[in-house]
Every structure is written in C-alpha cells, then in structure tokens.
Structure 1
Amino acid sequence: MATTLRPSLPSLATALGLVFMVGAAALLLAGPGHRVASTLSLPQTAVIPPATLLHRLDGEYSRANRPVDPPRVTVRIERPIEIMRYQVTVADYVRCVAAGACKHLDNPPGRGDLPVTGVSYSDATDYAGWLSRATGTRWRLPKDLEWVHAAGSRFVDDARGLDGSETNPALRWLADYEREANRKASSDPAPRPVGSFGANEHGVHDIAGNVWEWTQTCLRRVSLDAAGRTLGETSNCGVYIVEGQHRAPMTFFMRNPKAGGCSVATPPDNLGVRLVRDPDWRERLPASLRRLLPA
C-alpha cells in the first residue's frame, strides 16, 4: 500500500522561513549596483510635503440633469510628492525617440530647451516607461490631485459658480462665455523655453503656464439628485484630465488638442509632460534600517 508522506507543521514552518530569508536576501542584493546601467542624469525634482487641502474635485457633475460645479472637499495628502521641477523638454524626449522607445513628434521644433508638446497620453506613458528603465527608478504621470497640490497657488479654480438651482439657461451660457473670453484673452499659444514662467512656492517651474500636462486621472461623470446625493458615477479611461491654465478632458490618443478631443470648453494650446517619481522600497524603510543595507 502506498504511503503518503505529510510534512509536519514545524518542518513546514522552517521551510517557509527559509523561503522568506532567501527572498529577503535577494531584495538586499538588488541594491543600486544591480539597477539598469545608465548614463542619463536624473531630472531635477521638487518634493512637496504632505498637506490638507480644500480641493475642487475633478470631473463633470450634474444635479437634477443640470450642469453644476464639482464640489470642494477637504482632502489629506499623506505622503510627500516628488515631481519634476521642469516639464519634459524636446531634448529629453528626443533621447527616448533615439532609443526606439518613443514615437517621433509630428512637428518637432528646432529648439531642445522648449517643453515637448504634441504628445498624446500614450506618448507620455511611453516616455515615463523609458525613463524608468533608463534610470532604475519609477516615473509616472501624476494623479490630478497630486498635480493640483504641486501647482499650489498657481492652480486655477475655474468653477462657474453654478449650483444647479438656476433654471435660466442663459445665465449658464453667459458664465461660460465670460470664462472662455477670459481664457482666450490671456492665451499665448507659442511654447516658451522651460523656466520662462518662473517657480511657484514649491520650486516647481512653469506650472499652469502655456503648456498643459497630462495626468493619469480618468474622466468622471457624476450625477446628483436635487438634494446633492450621488445617484451614479461613471469613469471613462479613454479620456484623461489635463491640467494647465484650466482643467480639460482629453482623449488619450490626441496629440494636437486644436484638432478635437476636448469634450467641453476651450481646448488647451499645447499638450506636454511632467512626471512624478515614486520612491523605491529602500526609500520607504525607516532610516535606521536603510543604514543596514549594502551601499
């Protein structure tokens, strides 16, 4: 008769412990010397500290089938955000193209110090993936809330002041007209060299200048009842929020917003990129443990 051997609980625990120790050792060996070799210098970054914000939510809201402004809510950002001080430049993007990881620009400008424009959401994420591989650290597009926090006092709250209780559509049209007229009057469609718009209080340059920046936040549509309770919410991840002089939803494949793709309001002049860097597992450890890791 065949005999089935069953491991005892102590021996099983010992085996699991060995697996854990081997895994931990592998993580320790995966130090900086084991990252992707790179001659590419890391972009300059600013670290935005945690904070509590009174935040205008993103998305398109309607109450009792009438457009309303998204609500302002108090949100807490628990961790620091490390974000590029400058937008990705033409010269930066061309390196990605040369490496075969990014698509060629449709109309490349002659100056490398200009912020790269004419990039789609897919182009932006391709660049983030290439930069992550080239530097051995993870870069990604910011969430809308992260971008707003980094923008600080330069974030433009372009709410129309409509609460859904006004039944006269002419007032909404007038509010839209005034907002769009103000935008067009201050529009400056020609991109300027990075640094032209100066730094905000966080040391982030050119934010909310004349180049809009992709975020990874999908477009949300939220329906409220007459009392302001949420009836339903949908997310469309074929459309993403771009931030700049105003918020705008943009289809992921659009490179030129003037050709279409913006579902409401005046489309942005230019679509560009600014990335956030995520700390790796070593950086998340307490300082006392980091000192024990191999250099």
Structure 2
Amino acid sequence: MPAFQATFTKPMVQTLIPAVLLAVLAASVVQQSGLLDAAPADAALHEPRTVVIQPRQFSYRGDGEYLRGSYVVDAPMVTVTETRPLTIMKFQVSIGDYETCVADYVCDPPEGISTAQPDLPVTGVSYDDAQTYAAWLSRKTGSFWTLPSDRQLAFAAGTSFPDDALGLDPNGNNPAIRWLADYRREAAERAKRDPAPRILGSFGENEHGLADFGGNVWEWTDTCHQRVQLKSDGSVRSIEPTCGVYVTVGNHRSPMTSFVRDPRGGGCAVGTPPDHLGFRLIRSTRWYAPLLNRLRDRGIQL
C-alpha cells in the first residue's frame, strides 16, 4: 500500500503558519523570561508523599446552604465524571513540614500547638496560612501546589467523604424536622469529639490510599461557601457565593472564615465547628504547571 500522504490546501497552510509561528514565539518568550526554569536542586527533600486518584464517576452531596423559600433543605446529590487523575498528599501537612516553612520566615507559626512533635498534623492554621504554605512548597519543589476544591476532596476521599444530609422535608415546610435534625447531628458530633491530634496515619487509609481523612482534623479547601435559593420545583433560582468563607471538611463540612485558625474561638459560618483546622495539598501534573508557579510568584493568580 502506498504510504499515507497528508495534503494541505493553500488556505490551510495560510492558517497553520501564523499559529505555528505564534507558538514558537510564545515558547521563546517563556523560555527567555525564566518562567519555565528547572526545579531547584534540593526539590526532592521537600517532596511530600502523594497518592494518585484514578479517573472515575462518583457521587457526593453538594456543598452549600440550600433554601426553598425561607426553609433550609438538604443539598442535592451530585454525580460527576472525573476524566483526569488527581495527585494529592497522602497525609495532611505535618508540624515538621510546616515548621520548615516557618524557619524560612515565610509561614507564620501555628496557633495553640502545645507540642512540636513533627509527625503530628499541623493545626491552628488558617486558609491564608495554607495558601502561603502552598506557594512556599511550590517554590521549594518547582511543582505547582494548591488547596483542593470541595469536589476534588470528595473525589479523593471516596466513601470517607461525609454526607451532610439531615433527612429534611424536601418541601422545606416543617421547621420541627429541621430542629430535631440539627439537635441529633450536634449531639452525635459532640459524642465523636476527639480533642487531641494524633500522629499521621492514626485514622487509617481509605480505598484510594488517602490517610487520615475524616479524623479529628478538618481540611481547608479553596471552595467558597455558597447559599443556594431553590424554586418550588427544585431548580436553582440563585447562587450567592461568599468568598471570604471557605469550606472545610472532616466528619462533616464546616464553612470557616479565611483568617480563623482556632475554630473554638468562633468563625464557623454554619453548623458545628471543627475540632481542628489543618490541610493537605494537590499537585498539578499539567505540562504548564511550572509556568503557573512562576506567575503566582509574580503575583498573578489564575
């Protein structure tokens, strides 16, 4: 059989040439600007252990406060299909890892820690602290680290992810059911409270190898808390995001103000406050991740 020969018409060539020239020019500019510099020589010293969550379809309870009229109702179940793998820290960021950032005079010391045991998860950290650590770790490793979204954490947590449904009246017209549901949940949460953080690995692993999720350290996400107003037929009327309050996830979701480090001191926007606030990060595996890292260092958030 004759070899395959590609044929290009004149209009196709006229279209391709500028595109190719633009790509070459962009690559040259990026290279000369240093936006794709090689990773630091000691990057491996700072690389945390990770697990890779393989693509799949999964369902989880939507985040946010849902109302029908003036009554709170349960959020709907959401089914999504993730087509790309997710690389996420196996463990939450430890005191030892975080203290390295503090020693670099980048991160602020955590609040309320009575022991500097390095293999405990770091607690007493805010959303802002977690963002600072993510930027620092990105510079140290040459990778692009960020907080996960609520959806990404649900993807990684699998069957360990909490279902915040209270079994409320879907029509939202019986406040007594809401009161009883709130009472039962708060009583159950109080019974499960475990005030002392435990060393990494104490709460086991889920089916994807993710460790300690749903223990007594709630994890920051970069998902803004939202209030969703539903129509009488259940469709969405409006969504009001509050991007100064972010979703934290542990045994249940708990939206927290971004600067709060100790949940016992207030700042919980909805529901029962967490025992502790900590975090873990995800690593971008896209080819342009180093570019995102350099842009963030220059104050450009994408």
TM-score, with length taken from structure 2: 0.84
Out of 41, 54, 58, the position equivalent to 2:46 is: 41
Deviation readout 1:219-252 (Å, 9 max, x if unpaired): 1110012211221111110000000110010000
Distance 1:229 1:73 in 2: 14
Q: In the TM superposition, what is the alpha-carbon distance from 1:268 to its structure 2 partner?
A: 0.1
* Aligned residue number for residue 292 of structure 1: none
1:24 matches 2:27? yes
Alpha-carbon spacing, 1:148–1:20, altered in 2? closer, same or farther (3 Å): closer
**Aligned residue identity for 1:56:** R
Q: Check the 8 A contact 1:141/1:276 in 2, yes or no.
A: yes
**Aligned residue identity for 1:85:** K
Out of 55, 60, 68, the position equivalent to 2:65 is: 60
Out of 236, 247, 251, the position equivalent to 1:230 is: 236
Deviation readout 1:261-283 (Å, 9 max, x if unpaired): 11222100100010000014179
Alpha-carbon spacing, 1:16–1:163, altered in 2? closer, same or farther (3 Å): same
Q: Check the 8 A contact 2:60/2:163 in 1, yes or no.
A: no
Aligned 1:21-170 pairs, distance under 5 A: 21-24=24-27, 34-39=38-43, 40-108=45-113, 109-165=115-171, 167-170=173-176
Deviation readout 1:180-234 (Å, 9 max, x if unpaired): 1111111111100001011111011101111000000001110012211221111
Alpha-carbon spacing, 1:272–1:21, altered in 2? closer, same or farther (3 Å): same
Distance 2:146 2:170 in 1: 36
**Aligned residue identity for 2:59:** L
Distance 1:246 1:81 in 2: 22
Q: Check the 8 A contact 1:37/1:134 in 2, yes or no.
A: no
Q: In the TM superposition, what is the alpha-carbon distance from 1:34 to its structure 2 partner?
A: 2.3
Deviation readout 1:148-180 (Å, 9 max, x if unpaired): 111111112121011342533222111111111
Distance 2:262 2:207 in 1: 31
**Aligned residue identity for 1:236:** T
Structure 1 runs of 4+ off > 4 angstroms?
A: 13-19, 25-33
**Percentage of matched positions with identical amino acids:** 49
Distance 2:41 2:24 in 1: 27
Q: In the TM superposition, what is the alpha-carbon distance from 1:48 to its structure 2 partner?
A: 0.4
Alpha-carbon spacing, 1:75–1:18, altered in 2? closer, same or farther (3 Å): closer
* Aligned residue number for residue 264 of structure 1: 270
Q: Check the 8 A contact 1:56/1:157 in 2, yes or no.
A: yes
Q: Max radius of gyration: which structure?
A: 1
Distance 2:123 2:101 in 1: 14
TM-score, with length taken from structure 1: 0.86
**Aligned residue identity for 2:67:** S
* Aligned residue number for residue 193 of structure 1: 199
Aligned length: 274
Superposition RMSD in Å: 2.6
**Aligned residue identity for 1:57:** G
Alpha-carbon spacing, 1:53–1:19, altered in 2? closer, same or farther (3 Å): closer
Structure 1 portions without partners, runs of 5+: 1-9, 284-295
Distance 1:119 1:278 in 2: 23
